[in-house]
């Protein structure tokens, strides 16, 4: 794509964000380029100018944008996760982010569940996103181990996967329930696993 | 819809099953009525005869069919879940079912994640499906409590939600990874929570 002016970049961002909202509301299936044009008051040729790759390119840009939003919502805690307080703050931040979206769905989780409906490039991008997220949580487990808060024999990658699975599965179960109690129950369970790995055992009190 | 002959019922089932496979492969988005016609060698008027409600009705029938398949794959264990052995057998049955699908995706979980793209009737049907599934797992927790295997103070519905969240979130994380290790890690974590609720504490060995 040709270099964009500042105004062009803004228009492009606006289109990506409107598409992200539409996909969250109606799924990839319920999001046509006509819907995007209507929501952003852009013409066919404008849309083609900014996204010559059409819907596939737009979905890819949405995945990247949602990934950045999701990571930003987890800071500064995600980059820390060296204390139990930091883990608790990270969990609160995530819950607030999802609540703020107005529904119990992770934009990245939903895109991944619809991955069969995307092209290989988008699938690869989602793959890289998951690995990145999980690695950052696993790094947090390693920091807890280095600080003597978690059993050094525990597997950081498996623990990180269990925690993110609780987030995603908890959200999925909360969606039909229209309540966050399943998310809370899933996170409580994942946290119980983490806390059972405090050196000295479960009897230890939160620091 | 008019009463169907036996042959008619079979044709209708065949169309539902082919649509289910297509949705699993390509998402609701990637499944048009033309795709269904091509996969089942049916005409437009035949498809309309069996599914006057069009794609929405087909998706609903797919949700019902997938729900029945999923429940059947969990028997006889799901109706038992009164011993640790039964829980282990249930877990194995679920894992084998998902492996047998050839990808790490729960058909019901995927439909739920695409629920925004469905109509209210389908959403309601998925809602009822989740409540039914969770209730049956919670009943299993109650049986474990009645048998003295799990702390009677634990909340069966929250535990059931945590276990199903581990299944769903674990599958979601396994999909981009193309490996079931995230599912295993998530299930191990949920099981650790359950087992920590054995009367007598975590030190107890599996029976």
Look at residue B1 in the predicted model and tell me its pLDDT.
Answer: 53
Task: Among 1.10.150, 1.10.10, 1.25.40, 2.60.40, name the CATH number for the domain at B6-52.
Answer: 1.10.10
pLDDT tens-digit profile of B7-37?
889 999 999 999 999 988 888 878 999 999 9
CA–CA gap between residue A191 and residue A143 (Å, rounded): 16
Best of A19, A158, A168 to substitute, by most chain B Cβ atoms within 10 angstroms, is A168
| Owner of token pair 């329930």 | A177
**Mean of pLDDT values over B61-81:** 95
pLDDT tens-digit profile of A100-126?
888 788 899 988 887 766 788 888 899
- Please provide the DSSP assignment of B8-62 as one string: HHHHHHHHHHHHHHHHHHHTTTT--HHHHHHHHT--HHHHHHH-TTHHHHHHHHH
CATH architecture for segment(s) A66-195: Orthogonal Bundle (1.10)
Q: How far is A89 from chain B (nearest CA, A)?
A: 21
CA–CA gap between residue A202 and residue A151 (Å, rounded): 12
Angle at A58 between CA A170 and CA A168, to 5 degrees: 5
> A116, B196: Cβ pair inside 8 Å?
no
> A167, B169: Cβ pair inside 8 Å?
yes
ipTM: 0.89
Percent of chain A with pLDDT over 70: 95
Do residues B47 and B135 touch, judged by C-beta distance below 8 A? no
Q: How many contacts, defined by CB atoms under 8 Å, are there between A and B?
A: 195
Give yes or no for residue B141 having a pLDDT over 90. Answer: yes
Do residues A185 and A166 touch, judged by C-beta distance below 8 A? no
Q: Locate the domains of chain A by residue range.
A: 6-52, 66-195
Best of B162, B170, B181, B198 to substitute, by most chain A Cβ atoms within 10 angstroms, is B162
Look at residue A1 in the predicted model and tell me its pLDDT.
Answer: 53
CA–CA gap between residue B111 and residue B99 (Å, rounded): 18
pLDDT tens-digit profile of A12-26?
999 999 999 998 888
> B116, A109: Cβ pair inside 8 Å?
no
Do residues A141 and A76 touch, judged by C-beta distance below 8 A? no
Judge whether B6-52 and B66-195 match in fold. no
């Amino acid at each position: 794509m040709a270099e964009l002016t500042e105004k062009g970049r803004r228009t492009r961002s606006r289109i990506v964000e409107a598409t992200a909202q539409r996909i969250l509301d109606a799924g990839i299936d319920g999001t046509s380029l006509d819907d995007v044009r209507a929501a952003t008051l852009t013409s066919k040729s404008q849309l083609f100018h900014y996204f010559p790759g059409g819907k596939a390119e737009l979905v890819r840009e949405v995945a990247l944008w949602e990934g950045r939003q999701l990571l930003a919502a987890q800071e500064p805690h995600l980059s820390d996760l060296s204390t139990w307080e930091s883990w608790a703050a990270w969990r609160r931040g995530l819950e607030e982010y999802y609540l703020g979206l107005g529904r119990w769905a992770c934009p990245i989780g939903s895109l991944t569940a619809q991955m069969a409906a995307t092209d290989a490039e988008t699938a690869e991008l989602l793959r890289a996103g998951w690995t990145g997220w999980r690695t950052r949580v696993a790094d947090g487990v390693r920091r807890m181990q280095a600080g003597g808060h978690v059993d050094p024999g525990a597997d950081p990658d498996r623990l990180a996967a269990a925690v993110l699975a609780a987030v995603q599965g908890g959200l999925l179960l909360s969606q039909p329930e229209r309540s966050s109690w399943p998310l809370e129950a899933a996170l409580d369970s994942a946290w119980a696993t983490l806390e059972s790995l405090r050196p000295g055992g479960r009897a230890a009190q939160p620091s």
